[in-house]
């Protein structure tokens, strides 16, 4: 799993361990890091110190003394993204998805904040509002639990010091206690021992060894070309009928987009989410074009 240095360019950029992406993101978040260094030189924390993305976000927000409900999230987005660069070992990558979800939402908000606001309410804006509300709500909820956990800690510590009477029964009364209900066989007992000796960190089965089979966009494009040339028009639904693997459907869709880029086909969609109708439109088509098609997606 550990990427060798020459493989790194394909690593997912925001969490990539390689210098290239680190340098790239550095430039975008340079100001925030620089201002960190000036204003609070001590604030250098490894990401593993944060217990999840909300913890990190909350920390960044409170560092700027902003109210969650009022917060200008674009101000903390850069820092949040910058911290994601510390997500650089396999184990952390496993837990990175929630960080990425939050980062994506933050980026959306930042972009929306930068763009001029029109009166127009489109679906995207509504979705963005919803995403923001959801993030606020979850963050507030998280903060509430985090705050109340301090009460738990105080009570537990206080009570830890207390001593309760817990003394064995006198011999004469012990014999009167009801017979013990025992239902374990020796094998059950051994299974229990296994559990008892197990490390308290639950071993979990990694999914690293599961790789989706690779799908070639070029191959799929060849199929699309063949199908379309043989007929006048075809809906996308027909184009993928009978295909069960999502990966192939996606690849076939991407190949349609690529062919459109090359003006090899045209498409028509009368209403949002409506039927997508494809037509072969190439004046001159050479199969050699296929060879370079989808090169952007090559690994």
Partner 1 sequence: MTDDLTDDLALPTEQQAEEPTISAESPLAERIEAILLIIDEPIGLVALAAAVGSPVAAVRQTIETLVDDYDGRGTGPRRGFELREVGGGWRLYVREDHDSLVAEFVGGQAPARLSQAALETLAVIAYKQPVTRSQVASIRAVNVDSVVRTLLARGLITELFADSETGAINYGTTDALLQHLGINSLDELPPISPLLDDGADGFDEGVVR
Q: Are 148 and 80 in contact (CB under 8 A)?
A: no
Nearer to partner 1, 68 or 75 (CB): 68
Q: Strand 233-235: give its sheet, edge to edge.
A: 233-235, 276-280, 265-269
Q: Does 165 bind partner 1 (CB under 8 A)?
A: yes
Considering only residues 174 through 233, tell me which ones interact with partner 1, judged by CB under 8 A. 174, 176-182, 184-187, 189-190, 192-206, 209
Give the count of residues interacting with partner 1 (CB under 8 A): 76
User: What angle, 0 to 180 degrees and rounded to 10, lies between the N-to-C axes of helices 96-114 and 123-160?
Assistant: 130
- Give the number of residues written for the chain: 299
User: Shortest CA distance to 110 belongs to which of 147, 138, 72, 82?
Assistant: 72
Nearer to partner 1, 206 or 247 (CB): 206
Q: Are 243 and 286 in contact (CB under 8 A)?
A: no
Please state the closest distance from residue 9 (CB atom) to partner 1, in A.
29
Residue of 173, 211, 244, 299 that binds partner 1 (CB under 8 A): 173
Residue of 7, 89, 145, 269 that binds partner 1 (CB under 8 A): 145
Q: Does 117 bind partner 1 (CB under 8 A)?
A: no
Q: Are 45 and 56 in contact (CB under 8 A)?
A: no
Nearer to partner 1, 52 or 113 (CB): 52
User: What angle, 0 to 180 degrees and rounded to 10, lies between the N-to-C axes of helices 73-84 and 53-63?
Assistant: 130
The site map against partner 1 for 75-104 (x = CB under 8 A) is --------------------x--x---x--
Please state the closest distance from residue 176 (CB atom) to partner 1, in A.
5
Tokens encoding 13: 């950029």
Please state the closest distance from residue 36 (CB atom) to partner 1, in A.
23
Nearer to partner 1, 103 or 224 (CB): 103
Radius of gyration of the chain (CA): 29
């Amino acid at each position: 799993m550990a990427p060798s240095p020459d493989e790194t360019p394909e690593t997912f950029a925001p969490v990539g361990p390689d210098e290239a992406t680190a340098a790239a993101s550095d430039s975008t978040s340079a100001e925030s890091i620089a201002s960190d260094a000036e204003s609070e030189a001590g604030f250098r924390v490894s990401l593993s110190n944060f217990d999840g993305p909300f913890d990190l976000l909350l920390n960044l927000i409170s560092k700027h003394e902003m109210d969650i409900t009022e917060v200008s999230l674009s101000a903390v987005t850069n820092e949040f993204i910058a911290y994601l660069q510390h997500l650089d070992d396999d184990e952390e990558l496993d837990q990175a998805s929630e960080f990425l979800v939050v980062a994506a939402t933050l980026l959306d908000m930042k972009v929306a904040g930068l763009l001029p606001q029109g009166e127009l309410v489109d679906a995207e804006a509504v979705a963005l509002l919803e995403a923001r509300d959801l993030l606020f709500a979850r963050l507030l909820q998280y903060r509430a639990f985090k705050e109340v956990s301090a009460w738990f800690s105080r009570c537990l510590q206080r009570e830890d010091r207390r001593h309760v009477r817990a003394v064995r029964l006198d011999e004469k009364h012990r014999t009167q206690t009801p017979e013990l209900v025992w239902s374990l066989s020796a094998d059950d007992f051994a299974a229990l021992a296994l559990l008892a000796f197990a490390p308290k960190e639950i071993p979990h089965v990694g999914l690293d060894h599961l790789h989706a089979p690779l799908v070639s966009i070029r191959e799929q494009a060849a199929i699309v070309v063949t199908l379309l040339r043989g007929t006048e028009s075809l809906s996308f639904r027909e184009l993928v009928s009978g295909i069960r693997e999502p990966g192939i459907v996606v690849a076939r869709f991407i190949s349609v987009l690529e062919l459109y880029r090359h003006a090899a086909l045209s498409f028509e969609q009368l209403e949002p989410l409506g039927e997508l109708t494809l037509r072969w439109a190439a004046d001159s088509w050479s199969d050699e074009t296929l060879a370079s098609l989808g090169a952007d997606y090559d690994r």
